[in-house]
Every structure is written in structure tokens, then in C-alpha cells.
Amino acid sequence: NAGVTQTPKFRILKIGQSMTLQCAQDMNHNYMYWYRQDPGMGLKLIYYSVGAGITDKGEVPNGYNVSRSTTEDFPLRLELAAPSQTSVYFCASGLRGLVSYEQYFGPGTRLTVT
């Protein structure tokens, strides 16, 4: 299993540009999450999904959109990039049912908006 994969690893955007961060998992997990990690801060939840076709906002959803058409994929869309969206983005997946509700993280995408 590849686990959780993210592309691209790095990206530089100009203000106002759009892009999609890709996330895929091959563990058949029903839960998927997008987080952002700013320097010196804890990870913040942007959006999450409990299954294909179901998404909901997390703590910091403004400026982002998601979709979940399949169990495997959970792309994150930035429509009008702003400097405040400069961050490292992590996708995670998990399986509901066991006590731990473990989450598995991808390697991250480092995004710079200038």
C-alpha cells in the first residue's frame, strides 16, 4: 500500500491564481481530512469528509473548497490564492469503527503565495 499520497510536494502561486492540491489513499478509509500547518502553530482542520459525496467544513474553511467523488480521492481547491494561504497542507485518512480512530497523514504540500 502507498498509504496517503499528495501532489505536488511544492508549489509557488501568484496572488489570485487557482490550484488544486491532490490527495489519494489506497487503504479504503472512509474518513479523509485536510489540514494546514503554519509555523509554530498546531495543525488546523480545513475540511473533512466521512465518505464519498459527503464533505463538511472544519475550523478554517474560508478560501478553500473540496469534493469527494470517490472513496480514494479528496482534492482541495484554492480559488483565489492569497498570501495568508501560504502554509504546509496535509491530507489524512482514517477508518471509523475502532476505538482509536487513527489518522494517517500524507507527506504534505508546501505552498507559497506571493
Q: Which residues are near other proteins by CB under 8 A?
A: 4, 31, 40-45, 48, 50, 56, 90, 92, 94, 96, 99-108
Name the residue nearer to other proteins (CB basis): 62 or 100: 100
**Which residues, 6+ apart, have CB-to-CB distance to 100 below 8 Å?**
none
| Contact (CB, 8 A) for 23 and 5 | yes
Identity of the residue, 17 or 101, whose beta carbon is nearer to other proteins in the bound complex = 101
CB of 43 to other proteins, least distance (A): 4
Contacts of 74 (CB under 8 A, 6+ apart): 23, 24, 25, 32, 34, 49, 66, 67, 68, 91, 93
Q: Which is nearer to other proteins, 63 or 105 (CB)?
A: 105
* Rounded CA separation 53/87 (Å): 27
As measured in angstroms, the least distance from the Cβ of 110 to other proteins is: 8
Minimum separation from the CB atom of position 98 to other proteins (A):
10
Q: 13 or 94, CB closer to other proteins?
A: 94
**Residues linked to residue 37 through DSSP beta bridges, in sequence order:** 88
